[in-house]
Structure 1
Amino acid sequence: MPTLRRTRARRRAGAVALGTLAGALTLSLAACGSQLDPNQVVGAGGTAAGVQGGAVAGGEVPGAGTGGDLGAGGDLGTSSGTGGSTGGTTGGTGATGSGGTSAGGGGDAPQPGGENAADGGTKAGSCDGFKDQVGVTSKTITIGNASDISGPVPGIFESSQDAVKAYVAYFNASTDICGRKLSLKTYDSRTDAAADQQAYADGCENVFAMIGSMSAFDSGGAAAAEGCGLPDIRSAMVTGDRASCGTCFGAQSTVANQFQNAVPDYVKKNFPDAAGKAAMLYINAGAAAENGKLQAAAMTKRGMKFSMVQAIDIAEFNYAPYVQQMKDKGVKYVQMIAQPPQFVRLADAMQQQGFKPDVFMIDPSAYSLEYIESGGSAVDGTTVFTNFVPFAEASSNKEMQTYVSWLNQVRPGAEPTFFGVFSWSAARLFVERAVALGGKLSRESLVADLGKVSDWTANGMHSPQYPGPRRTGDCWRFLKLDGTSWVPTGGNKYTCAGLTTA
């Protein structure tokens, strides 16, 4: 069975540093409906306002390559396909500078047909009446991606930008939209609301749509996007301001106060005794502080009983007292809302005190090599809930194979990630709807069309999402860490059990 690729040292260092950044601490919780209040984040050490000078790096990436032919695919790829050389050399002005790269063709990456084709096998709309407009010329459609690349946690969401680069390369190697190839303009939102706003202000003037973006402080560009009618199909939305943006959509759809019933139902079915003796621990910063209480309340409504709902300060390093409290209360189910460094810290404390709950449940951010390697034997037995095809099961889903293979075309050795999955999904969603609109494609028509998209799975790559209706997806499955491998637990299919609002 294929295994996760090793993360580059820089990205792993960023993941570890994440534990010290309150603002970015709980972003991975977007999967279960998190929101990050910029005011809360500022108070916890973030920077939600005031950058001096230009802070957003811009560049254009036609075909998303760096020149020449793209390299060979990764371990999870399917058999080789044939790709042509597309793109060219262009220059573009970013928010603070200019950049241009040339793009190569498809290399050895797969070129599946049908619904997994780059255009999704979508019935193309008539090209009659296709007009040049912002970001659209007779030869190209320019899209943008603004993700946190630099800042306090370098590379935190670089995987989202890489995923969109990969999709653009995949698309340009085999097809077009009414004779137009895709060109990608990249922005660095720098883990900063002001930088996100700068990126979207530039995007309003220079790109047709923003695709697959992911930012800790995504409130910054929300007003700009809606103000100019800029379509924004994100990996996920994490602030209330972004969720309120009428032209913004999440490939992973979330609503802050909705929690999936699949998690408490899994516990009640498989660990009935533990369901009545539960503890919820959460970092007392940003979205975690809100979600810890909301999720415990939602799971209580669903029939679980929590004897401990406990906040932990971001600066707290001694978790022993919390473990002792759980031992004293007879806790058998432990859930934590934090990031891998805090998960590991709690697991270490539990191991040191000989406390082994029936279930240690955390969110998909722990589904990584960094968690396994840093946690060692202490994290063995961890359970995660997830809403996408596990990377170790990529052979079961052609879309996941295609993502992983093309990711390694544009970034050899890169590890596929939770957020990368949904950024790739966002790029596919954009392409399929643009192809269907054909000559009717405009910012306004795309936004209207996206409002109708429901039950979106990116060809089974992830569980059903509801970008148009803006409802949290309720289908989840579970993985358990067995030594150094994540294995299915509770079955290998999604449990779709509805939502509880807290």
Structure 2
Amino acid sequence: PAAPVDPNAPAGPAAEAACAPQPSTEVGVTDTEVRIGSIGTISGAIAGFGTTGRNAMTAYFEMINAQGGVCGRQLRLVTGDDGLDAGRNRSETQRLAAEVIGFAGGVTVVDNGGADILAGTNIPDVSLAIGVNRGLLPNNFSPNPIDPSQPGNGTIAVMQYFASQGVTSAAVIWPAQADARLRGQAFVHDLNQAGIADVQTFEVQITETNYGPVAQQIANAGTQLVLTALEVSGMARLAQAFQQVGYTPQVPFYGAQAYGQQFIELAGAAAEGTTIAVTFSIFEDAPNVPAMQQFVEWYGRVAPGNNPDFFAIMSWASADMIVDAVRAAGPAPTRDAMIAYLQTLTEYTGDGFLAPRNPAGKVTGNCFAIVGVRNGQWQRIEPAAGFLNC
């Protein structure tokens, strides 16, 4: 978590103890708590998709509450489940907008559903913003921003790195869902901009289980790099399909969302050799990155036995950002004060938890690290610490 606004003030529990809550009439604020909303996909066609994100939000709030909360108030997470339905996302957003001071986390590909509810309001939205319309909102400050002024996914630097390794061909696979389709097509743009012009594209059903035909077509073409907008079980099935057809892409990227133990468990031996670019510290960095050590410790307390992943990392960062905004808003927090703070957030790392990014300007930046599955475990490939291209 970021330090209090006053650099000379005591940090952590001492700082919170020195700040007494003042009366507030703001939505989601009582004398004893601050309510923050989060809507994810817990049920539906990809049930559990948002579970790790919710766990991470819960873990972060419990850590802060154990330190005394924020200015004498405890944090309370108020959740909604959209069931992978944009209409439900909209209705849940409308319901929670009357109960919470702001939104954070929110692992769902249908968050565009709630975009019009938040449009034109002063409700702070630090949700992940997977949907394009959600990310365009001036009051959205995603921890994983995608520049709305650009047609790609902000991954040109990553694709240039792989082009420098001799990659000239790629395949992009996405599920038949509007926002996932846009993300997949945006990867094609970034590949082309990096000079990788030979790109195959495939659209599959959301619940696809047989990736054999796709893997065979990629193998027949001898495609070097494989990238997807799939969720982790789809990525694992694709990796297994490559193993079954006897083909190993030069760069089995799949996507940053592959990172985590779940992919290794689902893909088994087929996970070996996976190589991805990430814009965050990995769990294996915990001994050297205190912010990651906090995450690993508290996530394990809240969800023992559950494997955190990319979405847990981004949701923890989202929680950190919105709690910093509540803290900066003072003893009587308001939505306006939180927005004012978030608009200053032009370089955020979460104390090394993430590579530098500009949530206020909606730009992730060009820093990344290459990590991969080697000998059945995730490990850093390059650099040994920190990030490339910074």
TM over 0.5: yes
SS across alignment from 1:221: helix
Aligned partner of 2:352 in structure 1 is: 460
Give the direction of change, closer, same or farther, for the CA distance of 1:343–1:436 in structure 2 (3 Å limit).
Answer: closer
How many matched pairs?
380
Equivalent residue, structure 1, for 2:57: 164
> Residue 118 of structure 1: CA displacement?
8.3
Q: SS at 1:183's partner residue?
A: strand
Distance 1:284 1:143 in 2: 31
Note if 1:266 corresponds to 2:158.
no
Match of 1:160, SS? helix
Question: After superposition, where does 1:290-305 map in structure 2 within 5 Å?
Answer: 290-305=182-197
Instruction: Note the alpha carbon deviations across 1:106-138, whole angstroms, 9 max, x for none.
Output: xxxxx99999x9859989998797533222222
Unaligned runs of 5+ in 2: none
Aligned position for 1:370? 262
Q: Distance in 2 between matches of 1:174 and 1:199?
A: 30
Q: Distance in 1 between matches of 2:212 and 2:92?
A: 44
Q: Is the 8 A contact 2:16 2:72 kept in 1?
A: no
Query: What is the TM-score when the length of structure 1 is the normalising length?
Result: 0.67
**2:318 counterpart of 1:423:** no
Pick from 240, 255, 259 the counterpart of residue 348 of structure 1: 240
Asked whether the equivalents of residues 127 and 178 of structure 1 are also in contact (C-alpha less than 8 Å), the reply is yes
State the match for 2:134 in structure 1: 242
Q: Distance in 2 between matches of 1:262 and 1:388?
A: 15
Say if 1:131 and 1:354 are closer, same or farther in 2 by CA, change over 3 A: closer
1:146 maps to 39
The residue number in structure 2 matching 1:193 is 86
Partner Cα distance (2:209, 2:21) in 1: 63
Map of 1:46 onto structure 2: none
Distance 1:255 1:231, change over 3 A: same
1:52-451 superposed matches below 5 A: 131-234=24-127, 236-255=128-147, 257-258=151-152, 259-269=154-164, 271-272=165-166, 275-276=167-168, 278-283=169-174, 285-286=176-177, 287-306=179-198, 308-314=199-205, 319=211, 322-323=214-215, 325-439=217-331, 441-451=333-343
Once the two structures are TM-superposed, the CA of residue 453 in structure 1 deviates from its matched residue by 0.8
Distance between the aligned counterparts of 1:213 and 1:118, measured in 2? Answer: 28
Instruction: For 2:119 and 2:227, locate their aligned partners in 1 and report how far apart those are by CA, in whole Å.
Output: 37
CA distance in 1, matches of 2:236, 2:302: 32
Q: Give the RMSD, CA atoms, in angstroms.
A: 3.2
Q: CA 1:422–1:310 in structure 2 vs 1: closer, same or farther (change >3 Å)?
A: closer
Measured after TM superposition, the shift of residue 396 of structure 1 is: 1.7
Check whether the contact 1:280–1:309 (CA below 8 A) recurs between aligned residues: yes
User: Counterparts of 2:44 and 2:244 in 1: how far apart (Å)?
Assistant: 35
Paired letter, 2:313: V
- Structure 1, 260-269 or 424-433: larger mean CA deviation: 260-269
Q: Distance in 1 between matches of 2:208 and 2:302?
A: 40
Contact 2:145 2:364 in 1 (8 A): yes
Task: Note closer, same or farther for the CA distance 1:231–1:328 as it changes in structure 2 (3 Å cut).
Answer: closer
Deviation at 1:247, TM superposition (A): 2.3
Shift of 1:383: 0.8
| CA deviations over 1:319-351 (Å, ceiling 9, x no partner) | 555555545544333334433344344433433
Identity of aligned residues (%): 27
Q: Which residue identity is paired with 1:153?
A: I
Structure 1's 447 and 284: CA in aligned 2 closer, same or farther, altered over 3 A? same
Give CA-to-partner distance per residue, 1:429-459, whole Å, 9 cap, x none.
Answer: 1222222231463111211221221111111
CA change 1:305–1:113 in 2 (3 A) is: closer
In the aligned structure 2, how far is the partner of 1:120 from the partner of 1:260? Answer: 39
How many angstroms apart in 2 are the aligned matches of 1:151 and 1:121? 44
Rate the CA distance shift 1:434–1:379 in 2: closer, same or farther, 3 A. closer
Name the amino acid aligned to 2:170. A
SS at match of 2:252: strand
Within 2, Cα distance between the matches of 1:132 and 1:288?
39
Letter in 2 for 1:268: A
The alpha-carbon distance between structure 1 residues 173 and 239, as it changes in their structure 2 partners (threshold 3 A), is same
User: Which stretch of the first structure deviates more once superposed, 357-366 or 345-354?
Assistant: 345-354
Write out per-residue CA displacement over residues 288-318 of structure 1, whole angstroms, 9 at most, x where no aligned residue.
4333443233223223342x42324328766
Distance 1:197 1:304, change over 3 A: closer
Structure 2 CA distance, aligned partners of 1:375 and 1:183?
36
Q: CA 1:483–1:168 in structure 2 vs 1: closer, same or farther (change >3 Å)?
A: same
Moved more, 438-447 or 340-349: 340-349
Q: Which secondary structure does the structure 1 equivalent of 2:344 belong to? A: coil
- The one-letter code of the counterpart of 1:355 is Y
Contact 2:2–2:351 (8 Å) recurs in 1: no
Partners of 2:304 and 2:237 in 1: how far apart? 32
SS of 2:227's equivalent in the other structure is strand
- TM-score normalised by the chain length of structure 2: 0.85
CA distance in 2, matches of 1:232, 1:160: 15
Secondary structure at the residue paired with 1:360?
Answer: strand
- Higher RCO by CA contacts (8 Å cutoff, separation 6 or greater): 1
Indicate the larger mover: 418-427 or 196-205.
Answer: 196-205
Post-superposition CA distance 1:339-396 (Å, at most 9, x none): 3344344433433443333222221222233322332333321112211111122222
Compared with structure 1, are the counterparts of its residues 356 and 456 closer, same or farther at alpha carbon in structure 2 (3 Å cutoff)?
same
C-alpha distance in structure 1 between counterparts of 2:219 and 2:315, whole Å: 41
